[in-house]
Amino acid sequence: MRLFVGLDVSSFDMKVCILNGEGEKLNAFTVTNDLPGATLLKERLLDCIGDQEVDVLKIGLESTSVYSFHPSMFLHHDEDLKVFGAKVFVMNPKQIANFKKSYSDMNKTDEIDAFIIADYLRFGRNQMSVVKESQYVALQQLTRSRYRLIRMMTKEKQHFLQHLSYKCNTFSQEVDSSVFGSAMMELFLEKYSLEELAHLPLEELAAFLQEKGKNRFGDPKCVATSIQKAVRSSYRLDKVVEDSMDVILGTSIEVIRTFQKQIKEIDKAIKKLMAGLTNTLESIPGIGPVFAAGIIAEIGQIDRFDDETKVAKYAGLYWRKHQSGRFTAEDTSLSRNGNHYLRYYLVEAANSVRRQVPDYRDLLREKVQ
């Protein structure tokens, strides 16, 4: 017996369609999208199986963020369904939408969508997104939250530098951007006027930077000199406007520090989870704990993929062939239809390896030329 179960999930209910191996509809019903509803779904599915021997039991639903997360995890971990070898697939909605185009005469309803998902499972093509085990799901939530915080912090730093240009318009020209950090934020939290900074003794400014930067500056006097050069060559604001810029800069610094604190807490949780997972990625020069955690979180169980080409396709890192008759296009665009988080981590990790390993750097240079 082969069973294919399609679920069309919304925030409040799940439309269910059960097909056999020949595509015949065995049952269709609706349950609520909560624990009692999922339990009822399982019971009705077991009733459908009865005492028959099951060769294939596939349950599929589209990836709809938090709406699909709970039912997919419930069905994946249910011990009664495991007896029948149940496999749960969380699929890309684009795959289902493209498959549905072959049913041109069908209306758009949730019940029909559940049937389409079940039929897609029955055809058995491009089904890689099996539900991940709990430790990978937990790691993925952490790494994605970290990714979001980093992007927000970067945006806030840009906001800070934009308003810093109002207060000191030549700062970015005279001062190396690599020195932006705790010491620089402390400097502008002091709310010095440009005149005060311009006349501050160089040794005193250098000592301030070295103390707040925890002795990380190789040449604090050189940094202090560049800051004073920027201050002395910048336009002067009237007191009212400069005071308002100081308030904005101070607020922005507090926001950045909040992000930094949250990222540190997430890093601790990521490190704890990674300690329980097999990880050989960090043995590759250029791949540190951040890239390793991101890649592992998005891939999950590596045995979900037959080979590296499947991983590349899942990440959207592949180029489609374009061929017609005797013509074959040499230049085709990157797909970008896969998991954009995994694509980001793989690309950034590859670039980091290129910087660390001369052989890869030389190989890329040859290909580009």
Question: pLDDT per residue over 170-184, tens digit each?
Answer: 988 888 877 677 788
**pLDDT category of residue 125 using cuts at 50, 70 and 90:** low
Q: What is the pLDDT of residues 127-169, one digit of tens each?
A: 655 677 788 889 999 999 999 999 999 999 999 989 989 988 9
The architecture (CATH level 2) of 137-272 comes to Orthogonal Bundle (1.10)
Residue 230 token pair = 């920027």
Identity of the residue numbered 20? N
- pLDDT (0 to 100) of residue 128: 55
**pLDDT category of residue 305 using cuts at 50, 70 and 90:** confident
Q: CA-CA distance, 34 to 17, in Å (whole number)?
A: 18
Which residue has 């995994």 as its token pair? 342
Say which residues have a Cβ less than 8 Å from residue 158's Cβ, sequence separation at least 6.
none
Task: Output the 3-class SS for 124-154.
Answer: CCCCCCECCCHHHHHHHHHHHHHHHHHHHHH
CB 77 within 8 A of CB 22: no
- pLDDT (0 to 100) of residue 75: 94
Q: Whole-structure pTM over 0.85, yes or no? A: no
- pLDDT (0 to 100) of residue 92: 83
Q: Is the pLDDT of residue 19 over 80?
A: yes
Q: Is the pLDDT of residue 42 over 90?
A: yes
- pLDDT (0 to 100) of residue 323: 61
Radius of gyration of the chain (CA): 28
Q: Is the pLDDT of residue 327 over 60?
A: no
Q: For 2-131, which CATH class?
A: alpha beta
Count CB atoms within 10 A of the CB of residue 267. 15
**pLDDT category of residue 338 using cuts at 50, 70 and 90:** confident
- pLDDT (0 to 100) of residue 228: 92
CB 194 within 8 A of CB 218: no
Domain positions in the chain are 2-131, 137-272, 277-367
137-272 has the same fold as 2-131: no
- pLDDT (0 to 100) of residue 72: 92
Q: CA-CA distance, 267 to 265, in Å (whole number)?
A: 5
CB 26 within 8 A of CB 48: yes
Which run of H or E residues covers position 89? strand 87-91
Stretch 27-49: mean pLDDT = 95
What letter would DSSP give residue 63?
Answer: -
SS3 state at 322: coil
**pLDDT category of residue 20 using cuts at 50, 70 and 90:** very high
**pLDDT category of residue 331 using cuts at 50, 70 and 90:** low
Say which residues have a Cβ less than 8 Å from residue 123's Cβ, sequence separation at least 6.
99
As a residue count, the chain comes to 369
Identity of the residue numbered 205? L
Stretch 349-353: mean pLDDT = 91
- pLDDT (0 to 100) of residue 301: 84
Shortest CA distance to 157 belongs to which of 237, 227, 258? 258
Say which residues have a Cβ less than 8 Å from residue 26's Cβ, sequence separation at least 6.
3, 18, 19, 20, 48
